[in-house]
Amino acid sequence: MITMAKRMLAMLTSVMLIFNLSGCGETEARKSGENRIDEIIANMTLEEKIEQMMFVSYRTWKEVPESENVEENVQAVNITELNDAMHISLQEHHYGGILLFSENFKDADQTLRLIADIQQTNLAGGGLPLLVAADQEGGNVARIGFGTTGVGNMALAATGNADNAKSMASIYGEELALLGLNTDFAPVMDVNNNPNNPVIGVRSFSDSPEMVAEYGIRYMEGLHETGTIVTLKHFPGHGNTDTDSHTGFPCIMNSYEELKECELIPFQKAIDSGADMVMTAHIQYPEIEMGTYTSVSTGEQVYLPATMSSRILTDILRDDMGFEGVVVSDALEMAAISDNFKMEDVLSLTINAGVNMLIVPSVLDSNGLKKLEDMTDMASKLAEEGKIDKDRIDDSVRIILELKEKYGLLSLTDFTVTNDAVEKAVAGTGNEENREKALGIARNALTLVKNNEVFPIKADENQSILVLFADSCASRAGTGELVKQELLNEGLINESQFIVMVNDNENRELCEDEALKADYCILVYRTYNTACLNPETDDGFSSAVFDGIIEKRHEANKKSILISCQLPYDAARFVDADAILIAYNSAVMQEIPPASGEGSAYAPNLEAALMACFDDGKVTGQLPVNIPVLDENYQMTDEILYERNK
Tell me the three-class secondary structure of 575-600, residue by residue: CCCCEEEECCCCCCCCCCCCCCCCCC
Cα 185 from Cα 133, distance rounded (Å): 7
Of the pLDDT bands very low, low, confident and very high (cuts 50, 70, 90), residue 248 is confident
Of the pLDDT bands very low, low, confident and very high (cuts 50, 70, 90), residue 67 is low
Q: Which whole number is the average pLDDT over 276-286?
A: 96
455, 613 contact by CB (below 8 A): yes
Whether 40 shows a pLDDT value over 50: the answer reads: yes
Pairing of strands 627-630, 131-134: unpaired
Classify domain 4-63+80-428 at the CATH topology level.
Answer: TIM Barrel (3.20.20)
Supply the pLDDT for residue 68. 60
Supply the pLDDT for residue 591. 52
Classify domain 446-642 at the CATH topology level.
Answer: Rossmann fold (3.40.50)
Supply the pLDDT for residue 17. 39
SS3 category, 126: coil
78, 60 contact by CB (below 8 A): yes
Supply the pLDDT for residue 596. 43
All residues at 6 or more sequence positions from 38 whose CB lies less than 8 Å from its CB, including other chains: none
130, 181 contact by CB (below 8 A): no
DSSP code, position 581: E
Q: Which whole number is the average pLDDT over 75-102?
A: 95
Catalytic residue among 330, 471, 570, 578: 330
Supply the pLDDT for residue 593. 47
Supply the pLDDT for residue 25. 47
Supply the pLDDT for residue 64. 77
Tell me if residue 234 is catalytic.
no
**What pLDDT, in 10s, does the model give residues 446-461?**
999 999 999 999 999 9
Cα 266 from Cα 236, distance rounded (Å): 10
Give the gyration radius of the chain's Cα atoms. Answer: 25
Q: Write down the domain spans for the chain.
A: 4-63+80-428, 446-642
Q: Which whole number is the average pLDDT over 111-129?
A: 97
Q: Which whole number is the average pLDDT over 520-539?
A: 95
The better pLDDT of the pair 392, 16 is held by 392
**What pLDDT, in 10s, does the model give residues 376-399?**
999 999 999 999 999 999 999 999
- Nearest alpha carbon to residue 581 among 595, 593, 571: 571
Angle at 335 (CA atoms; ends 145, 313), nearest 5 degrees: 90
Cα 530 from Cα 520, distance rounded (Å): 28
Catalytic residue among 246, 315, 519, 615: 246
Pairing of strands 77-78, 97-100: unpaired
- Nearest alpha carbon to residue 149 among 91, 191, 105: 105
Q: Return the H-helix or E-strand segment holding 422.
A: helix 419-428
Q: In 531-604, which residue ranges form alpha helices assigned H by DSSP?
A: 541-555
Cα 40 from Cα 296, distance rounded (Å): 39
All residues at 6 or more sequence positions from 145 whose CB lies less than 8 Å from its CB, including other chains: 102, 105, 598, 599, 600, 601
Cα 389 from Cα 393, distance rounded (Å): 7
Cα 184 from Cα 318, distance rounded (Å): 22
Tell me if residue 94 is catalytic.
no
Confidence (pTM)? 0.92
Looking at the DSSP bridge assignments, the partners of residue 166 are none
Of the candidate ranges 428-437, 550-559, 587-596, the one whose mean pLDDT is the lowest: 587-596
**What pLDDT, in 10s, does the model give residues 364-377?**
988 999 999 999 99
Distances (CA, A) of 610 to 81, 244, 400, 586: 39, 31, 46, 11
Supply the pLDDT for residue 72. 62
The better pLDDT of the pair 29, 543 is held by 543
**Can the peptide bond before residue 209 be classed as cis, meaning omega within 30 degrees of 0?**
no
- Nearest alpha carbon to residue 624 among 151, 204, 167: 204
Taking each helix axis as running N to C, give the angle between helix 84-92 and helix 368-384, from 0 to 180 degrees, rounded to the nearest 10.
20
Distances (CA, A) of 175 to 131, 179, 391, 432, 441: 16, 6, 38, 13, 18
Cα 272 from Cα 26, distance rounded (Å): 33
